[in-house]
Chains A and B, each alone.
Chain A
Amino acid sequence: MSRLELTRIPGIKTALRSRWPQLVLRVIALAGFALAIVAGISGTPVGSRNFAIVFVWIGWWALLMLVAVPLFGRGWCSICPIPMPGEWLQQGSLLKPQGKGLGLGWRWPNKLRNIWLQNGAFVLVALFSTVILTSPLTSALVLAAFLVVAVAASLVFERRAFCRYLCPVGGFIGLYSQVAPLELRVKDSSVCAAHTEKTCYQGSAEGYGCPWQVFPPGLVKNTYCGTCMECLRTCPHDNLTINLRPFGADLEKPSGRKLDEAFKAFIMLGSAMIYSAVMLGPWGFLKNAAYNIGSLQWLVYAAAFLTFIFLALPGLFYAAVALGQALSSNNAQVVRVRQRRPFSTHRQAFIAFAYSLVPLGLAAWIAFSLSFVLANLSYLWPVISDPLGWGWDLLRTAQAPWTPYLSGVTPILQAGVLLVGLLWAARTALRTPAAPGARPVLPRQQVIQALPVILFCSAVSFGLLGLLVA
């Protein structure tokens, strides 16, 4: 597949290798993050008038889901303020490696080198999200908790353990970054093979060893590359680049498919469906059940939420995958030619096909966010002038009225996004590669095994259309 080396364009490489542009953006983000915590704790309890709610859950969320993730993958992670204080303490420096930092520098436990903790952290936040998204104080406490955990992780473990293994947001950004048209990769792997120092991982005077604990020469997908640009700085052979590539290029690679990532896809897709019903549906009892934490209704809601994302969706998908495997194995043409099995177990096929849900899930989140963000974006203008809701009018926008934007065309945009997501999911299912080392399958067999998965994706998409557009 064709790639365009963006770092060949004059100025781009210099800008990416320099620490200053990144530092400026990170400091701005950190200031916003700190203001959100202060506003949440000391500002008005009215969510739509408080910076903590409006800027984080409307402004930042819109930027993240509608722009950053689909176009830049983990671009947000490269300027995220949450790991900054801990990282500065750990490194003992704001910029280049200088002195000795603080911290124990322990290795992250091998058994936890996966994203199950991130999956759990996201579900935990998701279960309380109706409150987190609307209560400034709760929102501020959650953000502050992220910061405390990130600092603690930096002081106990080596590198960015929080980002890689704990951050509830980073987990889904990583999953969906496989769709993005940008990637950081090595130019020539033979150069890396001959380079014994491996400064991209070990670090050098020019920069730190990969904070994300990724070995850059082995990068085959975006999921765990935080695009921090350290390897661009430390490679003495100028062998790393940012490529412009086709959307979703990572989804056609057979390697690196894992159960924890597969479940992340179910968690995200299921959450988008539940949020669409709870937050954008006309059912007041659902909203109240999700909001009244600790009540019997909330317990029922939480149980239904967990059952849906951990049992119902994966269970139905597993059945679809198993049906596809059975149909394709019994296909007369396949049997006549020779027995070809692209996957040795249903579990292996389940994991491989779950990556079809990546474009579908991203589309679901974009469609959900479009309605939520466009209807509420105008709350930004009063909050810019009065971030704490204390009656200020700094920029003369405090009285700007609430105005839903593009409300007449939002359903059309949502339907279009969901259609693209479904067709892309179907394409991904049809092109799902066989397990590494397995015999290549016949085209007809490929289609037959993907058919039930496509039906599953269609049912989910039509359900989402029903929730968001109908």
Chain B
Amino acid sequence: MLKRLRSRLANGGWKWGIFSILMLLILISPVPAFSAPPADRHIKINASSFEYDPGVIRVNPGDRVTLELSSTDVTHGIAIDGYNLQVTAEPGQNQSLTFVADQQGTYRLRCSVTCGALHPFMIGKLHVGPNTLLLKSILIATLGLAVMIWTGTRQ
């Protein structure tokens, strides 16, 4: 087994070892926060025929967010991925949902009430601070590609 490990290391396996360590470091390292101090945010969202307006919401981590949902056609809802929260609103009867945006990242808003043909695809987005998952993914991919190309040139 030791012989096999030594052979793998000699064949460039150590580069992948370094990659794995760097990948772990990237995954666990905190991303510096540049966001503003927490604040109260009141955001009006109108739901109609398979879209939210606005479709993309941006808040800062720690903000106390109130979503005021209105509907202009049939009953719609909002369920926030990762937060396990939801609210529904009938036409003409606005409903509000208040929560603290304590989980950083990007989350989908999904309609929680069957509202018509494209209901499963009625989706919005909630950005809480910078999208560290995206940044880390791109960083790891770039690192992995670099190691792969480096390994390729030394064959």
Instruction: Report A's interface with B, CB cutoff 8 A.
Output: 46-49, 130-131, 134-135, 278-285, 287-288, 291, 371-372, 375-376, 402, 404, 407-408, 410-412, 415, 418-419, 422-423, 426-427, 430, 443-444, 446-447, 450-451, 454, 458, 461-462, 465-466, 469-470
Closest to A371 in B: B108
A454 and B141 CA atoms in complex are apart in Å by 11
Q: CA A412 – CA B137 in complex, angstroms?
A: 9
Chain B residues within an 8 Å CB radius of A285? 51
Which residue from chain A places its CB closest to the CB of B114 in the assembled complex?
Answer: A48
Task: Out of A130, A375, A451, A461, name the residue touching B141 (CB < 8 Å).
Answer: A461
The interface residues of chain A lying within 8 Å CB-to-CB of B144 are 419, 422-423, 426
How many A-B pairs with Cβ below 8 Å? 127
A402-B86 Cα distance, complex, nearest whole Å: 11
Which residues of chain B have C-beta atoms less than 8 A from A454's C-beta?
A: 145, 149
In the complex, are the beta carbons of A415 and B133 less than 8 A apart?
yes
Contacts of B149 in A (CB 8 A): 426, 430, 447, 451, 454
Identify which of B110, B138, B153 contacts A462 (C-beta below 8 A): B138
B52 — which chain A residues lie within 8 A by C-beta? Answer: 282, 284
Does B137 lie within 8 Å of A282, measured CB to CB? no
In the bound complex, do residue B153 and residue A444 qualify as a contact, i.e. CB atoms below 8 Å apart?
yes
Chain A residues, Cβ within 8 Å of B118: 130, 134, 287-288, 291
Interface: B117 (CB within 8 A): yes
- Which residue of B50, B79, B107, B153 contacts A288 across the interface (Cβ within 8 Å)? B50
- Determine if B35 is an interface residue (Cβ-Cβ < 8 Å): no
A298 to B99, CA, bound (A): 39
Quick one: which of A135, A371, A407, A447 contacts B153, CB cutoff 8 A?
Answer: A447
Chain A residues near B56 (CB-CB < 8 A)? 282
Per-residue interface assignment for chain B, residues 121 to 149, with 1 indicating a CB less than 8 Å from any chain A CB and 0 otherwise: 11111000001011001101110110011
Name the A residues within 8 Å of B142 (CB-CB).
458
Q: Report whether A470 and B120 are in contact in the complex, using a CB–CB cutoff of 8 Å.
A: no
Report whether A407 and B117 are in contact in the complex, using a CB–CB cutoff of 8 Å.
Answer: no
- B123–A282 touching, CB < 8 Å: yes
Bound Cα distance A469, B108 (Å): 9
Given contacts A134-B118, A443-B153, A465-B134, contact A407 B81 (CB under 8 A): yes
B49 interface residue per 8 A CB criterion: yes
Interface residues of B in 86-101 (CB under 8 A from A): none
A82 CA to B37 CA, complexed, in Å: 59
Task: Judge whether B155 is part of the interface by a CB distance below 8 angstroms.
Answer: yes
The SS class assigned to the A binding surface is helix
Contact of A412 among B79, B119, B133 (CB under 8 A): B133
CB pair A282 B141 closer than 8 Å: no
Q: Are B108 and A418 in contact (CB under 8 A)?
A: no
How far apart sit A46 and B53, CA to CA, in the bound complex (Å)?
24
Contact of B55 among A284, A408, A410, A418 (CB under 8 A): A284
Complex CA gap A279/B51 in Å reads 11
Task: State whether A426 and B120 are in contact (beta carbons under 8 Å apart), knowing that A282-B56, A402-B112 are contacts in the complex.
Answer: no
Contact across chains for A408 and B82 when beta carbons are under 8 A apart: yes
Task: Tell me whether A411 and B105 are in contact in the complex, defined as CB-CB below 8 angstroms, given that A47-B120, A427-B148 are known contacts.
Answer: yes
Most chain A CB atoms below 10 A, which of B50, B122, B133: B133
Distance (whole angstroms) from the CB of A132 to the closest CB of chain B: 11
By beta carbon, the residue of chain A nearest B105 is A411
User: A418, B137: Cβ atoms under 8 Å?
Assistant: yes
Whether B117 pairs with A283 at a CB distance below 8 angstroms is no
Residue of chain B at shortest CB distance from A138 = B117
Distance in angstroms from A80 CB to nearest chain B CB is: 25
In chain B, residues 51-87, which have Cβ atoms closer than 8 Å to a Cβ of chain A? 51-53, 55-56, 79, 81-82, 84
Determine the chain B residues whose CB is within 8 A of the CB of A461 once the complex forms. Answer: 141
Task: Give every chain A residue within 8 A of B103 (Cβ-Cβ).
Answer: 408
A178 CB, min distance to chain B CBs, angstroms: 20
User: Cβ of A446 and Cβ of B152 under 8 Å apart?
Assistant: yes
Query: Separation in Å of the B16 CB from the closest CB of chain A?
Result: 11
- What's the Cα separation between A109 and B90 when bound, in Å? 58
Closest to A466 in B: B134
Complex Cα–Cα for A375 and B120 (A):
8
CB-CB under 8 A from A131, the residues of chain B are 117
